[in-house]
Amino acid sequence: MLKPIIITLTLLTFLCFVHSIGANAATQSRENYESTGNVIWEVKTHQKIVAITFDDGPHPDYTPQILDLLAKYDAKATFFVAGNKVKSYPDVLKREVNEGHEIANHTYTHPYDRNISANKLSSELDNTDKIIKNLSGYRPSLYRPVGGLHNDTIINTAVNKGFKVVLWSWHQDPKDWAMPPASKISNHIIKALQPGDIILLHDWSDRPQTVQALETTLDYLYKNGYECVTVSELLYRSHLKFPEFLMDIPVQ
């Protein structure tokens, strides 16, 4: 009586195992991915520099409010945009570019899919590149996977197209998408703050709390001698060594 049940259960477990191998591309450790230099979570630096990033926009109401605050504090940010939102709000993207912020690729339709195929991801990235290039004249060099979901297929597809894959400091996700009070968002960022952090925020959907938290955060950063730079500048500056930097200045 028990035997057929045990055989059936064993068979089911085996089938689930085979299915999971087939469906999920391999994911390596963070250390492995970081060692390639193609995937970053944050940078190591003693300089008081951080990168604030906004995902999923541009939004017609909240992104302009965010841009006003960034301008007030002379801060630069990186916008990981979704191509279909750029199509709807091209003027907001143009403003981001004109004000010196970095535009990065966050797919076209924002598919939340750990098992996305290389072909599907490739066309998502191409479509977003195309619309950004048409509006700004340049192609982005950074890509952030939707939901941070990554594996070899996702990373290799992006890297083969010349992208650097940018996640975020795991201690700098204040979960603003869940719409907590603004003070909770800014307290989270300020308490966890480290030089070289990449901070995750969102400008799509209803984001009054994010805007309010941004003002508190920028004020704190400004008063404490931090500079907000784009992710590309964060990477560039973290590689500069002080003496080499001095030696780079041409002697008259």
> Which C-beta is closer to Zn ion: that of 56 or that of 203?
56
Is residue 55 a contact point for Zn ion (CB under 5 A)? yes
Is residue 176 a contact point for Zn ion (CB under 5 A)? no
Give how far Cα 90 sits from Cα of 18, 136, 145, Å. Answer: 45, 10, 22
Give how far Cα 167 sits from Cα of 1, 23, 117, 148, 225, Å. Answer: 52, 23, 20, 6, 25
Among 48-56, 87-95, 185-193, 229-237, which window interacts with Zn ion (CB under 5 A)? 48-56
Indicate which residue of 101, 188, 202, 203 is catalytic: 202
68 is catalytic: no
Phi, psi of 151 (to 5 degrees): -155, -175
CA atoms within 13 A on the CB side of 48: 8
> Which C-beta is closer to Zn ion: that of 56 or that of 176?
56
Phi, psi of 178 (to 5 degrees): -85, 5
Radius of gyration for the chain, computed over Cα atoms and rounded to the nearest angstrom: 21
Among 38-46, 55-63, 148-156, 181-189, which window interacts with Zn ion (CB under 5 A)? 55-63
DSSP 217-234: HHHHHHHTT-EE--HHHH
Is residue 203 a contact point for Zn ion (CB under 5 A)? no
Is residue 42 a contact point for Zn ion (CB under 5 A)? no
219 is catalytic: no
Kindly tell me which residue out of 42, 56, 102, 176 binds Zn ion, with binding defined by CB under 5 A.
Answer: 56
Q: How far apart are CA 40 and CA 168, in angstroms?
A: 7
Q: Site size for Zn ion, by CB under 5 A?
A: 2
Least separation, in Å, of the C-beta of 52 and Zn ion? 15
> Which C-beta is closer to Zn ion: that of 42 or that of 203?
203
Contact residues for Zn ion (CB under 5 A)? 55-56
Residues tagged active-site: 55, 202
